Amino acid sequence: MIGTRALRRRMLLVGAMVVGAQLAVATPSVGAPTDGGTSVDVQPALTVPAWPEVGRGFYEPPADVVAAAEPGEIIAAREVHLANLSVLPVNVDAWQLSYRSNNSRDEAIPAVATVVKPRGTIDGVRNLLSLQPAEDSLGKYCAASYALQQWSVPAPLTGQIVAPLQFLEAQAALAQGWAVVMPDHQGPNAAYAAGPLAGRITLDGIRAAENFDPLGLTGRQTPVGLMGYSGGAIATGHAAELHASYAPDLNIVGAAEGGIPADLGALVDLADNNLGAGIVLGGVFGVSRDYPELAEYLDTHLNPLGKQLLAAKSNLCVSYQSALLPFANLRGLFDSPSGDPLRDPVVESVLDRTEMGHRVPDVPMFMYQANPDWLVPVGPVDTLVDTYCQDPNARVTYTRDHASEHLSLEPVAAASALMWLRDRFAGVPTDAGCITHDVGSMALDQATWPVWSSIVGDTIASLLGQPIGT
């Protein structure tokens, strides 16, 4: 506990220094219109980025302004400089968009997304990839919008190591000429694992990207692909399920997701007294930030140790979430009326509403899962696929990898996901129905090897400052 407190004090000190530098170098904004029905000022990039906790004017615009906007309508925009390892600049055009979205109760909330345009021009329509990083954190500074900026506090200090790694996948997409939008899909309260919220923010982030003229898209006709792994699959999967009812105006051509947390209750069952206890407990706390009844339940039924953990975890990024109390007895942190917190009515109700499978996506799905996954159990993913496939119109390709586990499958499968999305953008049709593949390792698919070579080459070129997408 002492180490965690000392770390947080150091991080707050760095944050204060960052704010001071930001105030010293900020310059007036310049005007630029969008095609979303209103005109916004595109502010110049800050030399040193501000943490979301302190740069609140952009991240938390006035509530009446948010409520007056339409979902996906841009409220503010600013240029940003993106970098690998917080230092090495990535040669692309990038902006942050503040826009209106909705929480799980369809109440207006502010949201932020990072949009990126590759260098160079294309003939015809530019595709858009919505990449949902696995934020998996309870601190607002852990969001991609901060973590990917040049001169942000580096990942080894903040603990947000996942988003910078998945940014390499975004760069692979940019190298193909695609634009990329990366939403802060956990929302203004860092509601980690709150799927219906994340799905709405993701869909509205796509709308905002399409409303932003400098990105060079073709409005609602823009072909859009979704991609996410683990915590990013929570946002991706719920966005795919919500597409038909929440954002039918979007031209989503496919969704690729892996390490899929289809049932949060099953994650708690697997993590209890296991290695994943720390990161899953963070997810429980995160969901309560979008479900007040669960927050009240935690306040009432967490024992003293549970409440200490709630306070200790309340502002940590993914690495420290995982490291704080693995192998914990999660059920032992609660004074449950029924003897099992997962069986208490409030908890059951929230788990049901956050479970995937309430709707069958109306877009083609590429789903992949490690069979021996120690964090996200394969059984609920199998069940989810079976649920989708009861609909004769479902279009699902499902791959089970028998050699990988949760952490290794994400980089192993990235090339397959990008190839599958490339076919969707190219208009290659998918037949109605479901296909399941059981493979030793997705890394052995020789068709993906050229993509891997391209990713490596593009990454090296990016590290050397070469423009991406020319």
pLDDT tens, residue by residue, 201-233 = 999 999 999 999 999 999 999 999 999 999 999
Q: Within 302-377, where are the H helices?
A: 304-313, 318-323, 345-354
The H or E element that residue 11 is part of is helix 2-25
> What is the DSSP pairing of strand 108-117 with strand 179-183?
antiparallel
On the question of pLDDT at 293 being above 90, the answer is yes
Read off the tokens for 61: 């615009």
Question: Distance of CA 171 to CAs 148, 165, 294, 452, Å?
Answer: 12, 10, 38, 13
Per cent of the chain over pLDDT 90 is 82
Which tens digits make up the pLDDT trace of 300-354?
999 999 999 999 999 999 999 999 999 999 999 999 999 999 999 999 999 999 9
Answer for the pair 304, 274: CB distance below 8 angstroms, yes or no: no
| DSSP E strands, 15-73 | 30-33, 39-43
**Phi and psi, residue 287, nearest 5°:** -60, -35
Which tens digits make up the pLDDT trace of 422-466?
999 999 999 889 999 999 999 998 888 887 777 777 778 777 788
On the question of pLDDT at 33 being above 50, the answer is no
Mean pLDDT, the chain, rounded, equals 91
Once rounded to an integer, what is the mean pLDDT over residues 22-50? 59
pLDDT at residue number 128? 98
247 — pLDDT class (breaks 50, 70, 90): very high
Task: Assign 126 to helix, strand or coil.
Answer: coil
Place of tokens 């690495």: 319
In the chain, what are the helix, strand and coil shares in percent, each to the nearest 5? 45, 20, 35
On the question of pLDDT at 151 being above 60, the answer is yes
